[in-house]
Amino acid sequence: MPTDATLLPPDFELASAYPETGWLRQAAEARDWAAIRTYFDKLPYETDRSVLIRAVADVPGVEDFLREVVAAVPDDVLALTMLGSREVAIGWSIRTAARAEHVSRDQFRQMHEHLRVGEQALIRATALDPSFHSAWAERLNTARGLQLGQNEARRRYDRLAAHHPHHFTGQARLLQQLCPKWGGSWEAAHGFARACLLSAPAGALSGGLVAEAHMEHWLDLPADGNARAAYLRQPHVHAEVVEAAERSVLHPDHRPGYGWVSVQGEFAAFFSLVGDTARAAPHFRALGNLASEYPWGYLGNAREQYVRHRAAALGRAGRG
């Protein structure tokens, strides 16, 4: 891990944090389903596979290969989930991350077409194996994209949580649904994030949801004027994020799992925004030079924001 004096350029490559994702991408490009299947079969049941599945689903053109696998083995739940995830990824890439008012009607039409195809594969996956939590987690993405509403999203999350009560990817996806921009409310979003924190084992990633909810709330406020700064200055907001960090990634029982880079980044970004560089520093130290687009992209240019706030927290100029 780099020391404060050796601040390396930020590394946003997924495989740098999780080397196995690089190997899985290569296996997908080589159309080696046997190798992919064997790798997943050896994972402990409780593993949140969503990052690994999405690593395969993000390989350009992999949908053709996955359709062939599903055609050959129609009841392969993993293949169905990966194919569904790929269709969802294509749909969301067409929509882009822009606010709804900046997305064209044709973009929405194409997005929904892919989401519906993906949803059919995922429905079959969850019907074949109702305990396959990664398929339910992906169905939270389709519920949001197809605007199926809060109740349906909650139903899907409850089905996931029945088998994996602290599934971080599923929690993060439902949190997005609970935000006002997707028809929810801040009361629901903050309440859910805190409930996940309090029910999770010590050291779990769920604490990151508290920081995420406050970051989303901050971003939703008018950029001009003092609304954003005033929100972050509220003592209870700062206290809640401090508690969440201490119960999650700063807890002695914490062990980095899939998603840890973005969670450490959430805390680093939040404390940097409020000017609490002392509390931001341990999160930057834990990251070394690893980074993820979220949350830094919320602040502007992700690379520039990461470098600037890390330098402020660690007291070094760093290298961009």
Q: Which residues of 274-291 are buried (b: 16+ CB within 10 A; e: fewer)?
A: bebbebbbbbbbbbbbbb
Nearest alpha carbon to residue 21 among 1, 42, 36:
36
Helix (H) or strand (E) holding 291: none
Region 272-280 average pLDDT: 96
Instruction: Inform me whether the pLDDT recorded for 11 exceeds 50.
Output: yes
Binned at pLDDT 50, 70 and 90, residue 320 comes out as very low
Instruction: Give the pLDDT of residue 318.
Output: 45
Q: In the chain, pLDDT over 90 holds for what percent of residues?
A: 86
Phi then psi for residue 300, to 5 deg, are 140, -140
Digit-coded pLDDT (tens) for 145-161: 999 999 999 999 999 99
- The answer to whether the beta carbons of residues 202 and 244 sit under 8 Å apart is no
- Judged by DSSP in three states, 11 sits in strand
Nearest alpha carbon to residue 116 among 141, 135, 150:
141
Instruction: Inform me whether the pLDDT recorded for 224 exceeds 90.
Output: no
Region 170-189 average pLDDT: 96
Instruction: Give the pLDDT of residue 155.
Output: 97
Instruction: Give the pLDDT of residue 94.
Output: 80
- The answer to whether the beta carbons of residues 51 and 19 sit under 8 Å apart is no
Instruction: Inform me whether the pLDDT recorded for 245 exceeds 70.
Output: yes
Digit-coded pLDDT (tens) for 77-133: 999 999 999 999 988 888 666 666 766 777 878 888 989 999 999 999 999 999 999
Q: Helices 105-128 & 77-95, crossing angle to 10 degrees? A: 170
Question: 């599934």: which residue's tokens?
Answer: 167
Region 186-213 average pLDDT: 97
What tokens appear for 115 in the block? 């989401």
Region 43-49 average pLDDT: 92
Binned at pLDDT 50, 70 and 90, residue 1 comes out as very low
By mean pLDDT, which of 17-26, 87-96, 263-272 is the weakest? Answer: 87-96
The CB density around residue 269, as the number of other CB atoms within 10 Å, is: 23
Binned at pLDDT 50, 70 and 90, residue 2 comes out as very low
DSSP secondary structure of 47-85: ---HHHHHHHHTSTTHHHHHHHHHHHSTT-HHHHHHHHH
Instruction: Give the pLDDT of residue 34.
Output: 96
Residues 301 and 53: their CA atoms lie apart, in Å, by 27
Instruction: Give the pLDDT of residue 15.
Output: 96
Q: What totals of helices (H) and strands (E) does the chain contain, helices first?
A: 18, 0
Cα dihedral sign, 308-313-317-320: negative
Region 63-87 average pLDDT: 96
Q: In the chain, pLDDT over 70 holds for what percent of residues?
A: 94
Instruction: Inform me whether the pLDDT recorded for 228 exceeds 60.
Output: yes
Binned at pLDDT 50, 70 and 90, residue 316 comes out as low
- Judged by DSSP in three states, 97 sits in coil
